[in-house]
Amino acid sequence: MSAARTATRPSKRARRAAAGQAPVGTRPANRRPGGPGGGRLGRVGWLARPSLRHRPAAFLAAALTVFLGTVVIGPFATMIETALHSSGDDRLALLIMGGVVGGWGLVIVLFSLASTIGITVRQRTDEVVLLRTIGAAGAQVRSLVRGETLAMASVAAALGAVPAWFGARALLDALRSGEVVGDDVRFQGGALALLATVVATVLVARLAASVAVARASRAPVREAGAEQVREYRMPRWRLIAAATLLLYGLGFAVVTMTVTGHSADPYDAMMTAGNACVMVSIGLAVAAPGLLKRFAGRFRGRGAAAELALSNAARRSQLLSATLAPVIVLTGSSIGTLMLVDIDVRSMAGAGGADDVTTLLNVVVVVMISLFATIMVVNAWAAAVAHRRAELRRLWLVGARPRTVRASVVVESLVTGLLGAGLGVAAAATTVVPFSWARGEGLVPDGGLWVAPAVAAVAIGVAVVSATAAARRVRFSGGPTSG
Amino acid sequence: MDTMAVQVRRLARVYGDHQLGVRALDGVDLDFPRGSFTAVMGPSGSGKSTLLSCVAGLDRPTEGEVLVDGENVTFWDEDARSRLRRERIGFVFQSFHLMPYLTAAQNVALPLRLAGRKADPRLVRTLLGHVGLAERAGHLPGELSGGQQQRVAIARAFVASPAVVLADEPTGALDSATAKEILRLLRAAVTDLRQTIVMVTHDPVAASYADRVVFLVDGRVAGHMAHPTADAVAGQLAHLDQLVAAGSAVAR
């Protein structure tokens, strides 16, 4: 047995050291695993299967996001492929459908995908730290996480391509029967477009996994393992990305009021105004951790549940921000776009009616974004609560009633829901105010104001219901060591 | 040099500001000879766990150096440190730290697999047999009792024939009967197999299984005791303040 071997003769390393040879580990330049003289690294791919089987819920949540992402983006990519095989107005209509509508879908899907994968990977920090403690190299841990994500995303995206293909046919049929494109436009295979969609989705999932595992796999092990409950500061890239999106979105609002609002074509204003709310929503969603910290830090809770919820929201804003971001995107882009359509229909009534195609496009955008963002809210709450199961149990062990613990999670969802809906309304205003002004209704539209509170209420409702459902799944009975 | 498994020289670890921060370790000099069993004791916050972390390369010392097998590992980069842990250091933790989704046998073989070596099933079986778990090789950690999980962790710690096994409160989460079995296993590994063990513990009974006890107070070595008994260790722990006074008097 190996332990006995050391006793009888010194190890190879000891002999090397005794002989004055350079030890295998001392040359920082020699980092290539498996390179000559470097420490050998074992393959870790075999760990992926038992690991995935051990966490079916987190695995399914991530796979579902990838699957739905492919289903949403796929049809629009196919529209672009079909456009390349047609001509004239049909070609333009298809390109707008695929490029503009699909483009927004792409941005939102990729953002959600990155954040979901990020949560699922960060949930595994303990496992990563343990593997590194017993000697796994950072590269091994990274390749394990990347490999798992790659396998999961490839299967989920490939499965998603099937409904995406049917979705593409249905979308084209809808465009034909809505007379957006001529009846002679033929559906073009879609294989290339769907393949591109699958590849893009898988690559983004893999990139998100690499970013999420970077800290735990690179920092000194003891630091990587320390729980991050110190002062959270948003990384600079995040601030820059958020600021860029916000400024870009506000830029569209300004351009609408100063340039396109005076244009001869009434739809020029819509082209610019429509982008503003989506841009600003995503910008605010990127800045969500910082915003949540500021917001929750202002309140003092009454009662144990509220106090717990607000402290948690303020101190661990990165964790809860994953549930805040989709609420902002959901309310911001839905309210903005729906009111945009409403103003358009009203103001064009005298001029031969609103453009049906544009209305259809906008409605498709809203439906797509809302559905996706709703699923993301549910998903994010399931993941966030699953991540904290042990911690919630600990509260119970120190004497909190299960009701109080669950109530604190629901209060958290109210806080993020309210903040998200509020920020969403603000983001929507960047579309609604300029467009209303451009169409001569003044800064406040003449009608349809009920849309904002209605959508906001739905978004808050979705957040609260998903948090309640996730909290109900936490079990409090059993011994103190389990969980 | 060659007879020392681990040496630490003027080891210091400061958390936070260099001047005002917490000095978890403050100039520790210690030698751990091959085939020795050392218990490290001291009150909470005396730097015991920080010492283990620095030896294992889990944490970077602020000052001083760490030698494993006579080799200075202080300035190794992260990759080299992980190789150090993989090949020369075994770990036993208070909370076992087994991978929950791997069987006992897979957990034991994991350090070898990480090192890209073939995990000889006979070796794994022999080790599991040594810790009395030959029948449980195919079980997941969740299906084992605390004592059994800790025995799997011990088998894992020894699988790569490390230069030293670091045990951080290995019996802290176990009842006293199970704790005794674990301590007997560790003792046997030192006596029969000439392994080297450094064990951090609060428990005078656990410390009495060691060859020597090192007392740490406020990040400094406050005293040594050879051939410890539980009573002597308990007595010494009760009067650590006097040890500190005597120690600093000697140092000056």
Q: What is the pLDDT of residues A47-73, one digit of tens each?
A: 878 887 877 777 887 888 899 889 888
Mean local confidence (pLDDT), A144-159: 91
User: Regarding predicted confidence, which is higher, A151 or A102?
Assistant: A151
Shared domain check, A218 and A259: no
Mean local confidence (pLDDT), A116-125: 78
Share of chain A above pLDDT 70, in %: 88
Shared domain check, A345 and A252: yes
For the record, the structure tokens of B110 come out as 């994991």
Query: Within a 13 Å sphere around the CA of A129, how many CA atoms are in the beta-carbon half?
Result: 20
Q: Which residues contact A140 (CB under 8 A, 6 or more apart)?
A: A33, A41, A42, A44, A131, B114
User: Regarding predicted confidence, which is higher, B57 or A14?
Assistant: B57
Shared domain check, A441 and A351: yes
Shared domain check, A219 and A238: no
B193 and A6 within 8 Å at the Cβ level: the answer is yes
Rg (CA), chain A: 26
Dist. CA A295–CA A317, nearest whole Å:
10
SS3 (DSSP) at A55: coil
Shared domain check, A264 and A328: yes
Cβ of B123 under 8 Å from any chain A Cβ? yes
pLDDT for A8 equals 40
Shared domain check, A452 and A408: yes
pLDDT grade, residue A478 (50/70/90)? low
Shared domain check, A466 and A320: yes
Dist. CA A234–CA A290, nearest whole Å:
6
For the record, the structure tokens of A184 come out as 């002679």
pLDDT digits (tens, 9 = 90+) for A366-393: 887 788 888 888 888 887 887 788 788 8
Note whether residue A318 is domain-resident. Answer: yes
Note whether residue A20 is domain-resident. Answer: no
Query: Within a 13 Å sphere around the CA of A10, how many CA atoms are in the beta-carbon half?
Result: 15
For the record, the structure tokens of A399 come out as 């004497």
Note whether residue A50 is domain-resident. Answer: yes
Residue A21 pLDDT > 70 = no
pLDDT digits (tens, 9 = 90+) for A231-283: 567 778 889 999 999 999 999 999 998 988 888 888 888 888 888 998 999 99
Shared domain check, A410 and A265: yes
Residue of A nearest to B75 (CA): A26
Residue of A nearest to B117 (CA): A42
pLDDT for A481 equals 40
Dist. CA A299–CA A308, nearest whole Å:
12
Binning chain A into helix, strand and coil, the percentages to the nearest 5 are 75, 0, 25
Shared domain check, A238 and A304: yes
Highest mean pLDDT among A95-109, A401-415, A452-466: A452-466
Q: What is the ipTM score, two decimals?
A: 0.77
Highest mean pLDDT among A32-36, A99-103, A141-145, A473-477: A141-145
Q: Report whether A386 contacts A440 (CB < 8 A).
A: no
Q: Report whether A397 contacts A391 (CB < 8 A).
A: no
Chain mean pLDDT for chain A = 80
The backbone torsions φ and ψ at residue B168, rounded to the nearest 5 degrees and listed phi first, read -105, 100
Q: Which residues contact A193 (CB under 8 A, 6 or more apart)?
A: A74, A77, A78, A80, A81, A168
Q: Report whether A315 contacts A229 (CB < 8 A).
A: yes
pLDDT grade, residue A226 (50/70/90)? low
Shared domain check, A104 and A64: yes
Dist. CA A206–CA A232, nearest whole Å:
25
Total residue length of chain B: 252
pLDDT for A37 equals 35
Where do the structural domains in chain B lie, given as residue ranges? Answer: 4-251
Compare CB distances from A220 to B2, B59, B79 and report the shortest one's residue: B59
| Domain endpoint, select from A196, A226, A256 | A226
Dist. CA A456–CA A462, nearest whole Å:
10
Residues of chain B in contact with residue A31, where contact means CB-CB under 8 angstroms, are 77, 79
| Domain endpoint, select from A191, A226, A261 | A226
SS3 (DSSP) at B164: strand
User: Regarding predicted confidence, which is higher, A101 or A310?
Assistant: A310
A26-30, A110-114, A191-195, A345-349: the lowest-pLDDT one: A26-30
Shared domain check, A263 and A412: yes
Q: Going residue by residue through chain B, which has 252 residues, state the pLDDT in tens, using 9 for 90 and above.
A: 468 999 999 999 988 777 777 888 999 999 999 999 999 998 888 889 899 989 988 888 999 999 999 889 988 888 888 888 888 999 898 888 888 888 899 899 888 888 878 778 899 999 999 899 999 999 988 889 989 999 999 999 999 889 999 999 998 888 989 999 999 999 999 998 899 999 999 899 999 999 999 999 989 998 899 999 999 999 888 888 777 666 544 433
SS3 (DSSP) at A375: helix
A3 and B189 within 8 Å at the Cβ level: the answer is yes
For the record, the structure tokens of A29 come out as 């330049």
Q: What is the DSSP letter of A181?
A: S
Residues of chain A in contact with residue B79, where contact means CB-CB under 8 angstroms, are 28, 31, 39, 137-139
Q: Report whether A123 contacts A183 (CB < 8 A).
A: no
Note whether residue A394 is domain-resident. Answer: yes
Dist. CA B37–CA B59, nearest whole Å:
23
Note whether residue A290 is domain-resident. Answer: yes
For the record, the structure tokens of A68 come out as 């739905």
Nearest 5 degrees, angle CA B100-CA B106-CA B112? 120
| Domain endpoint, select from A226, A261, A291 | A226
Residue A2 pLDDT > 50 = no
Dist. CA A459–CA A111, nearest whole Å:
18
Note whether residue A32 is domain-resident. Answer: no
pLDDT for B2 equals 61
Cβ of B74 under 8 Å from any chain A Cβ? no
Distances (CA, A) of A185 to A101, A166, A191, A234, A360: 19, 17, 17, 49, 18
Number of domains observed in the structure of chain A: 2
Note whether residue A191 is domain-resident. Answer: yes
Q: DSSP string covering A60-117, please?
A: HHHHHHHHHHHHHHHHHHHHHHHHHT--HHHHHHHHIIIIIIHHHHHHHHHHHHHHHH
For the record, the structure tokens of A258 come out as 């100063």
Rg (CA), chain B: 18
Superfamily (CATH) of domain B4-251 = P-loop containing nucleotide triphosphate hydrolases (3.40.50.300)
pLDDT for A30 equals 37
Cβ of A12 under 8 Å from any chain B Cβ? no
Cβ of A2 under 8 Å from any chain B Cβ? yes
pLDDT for A459 equals 95
Shared domain check, A166 and A80: yes
User: Regarding predicted confidence, which is higher, A337 or B96?
Assistant: A337
Q: Report whether A466 contacts A378 (CB < 8 A).
A: yes
The domain of A369 spans: 231-475
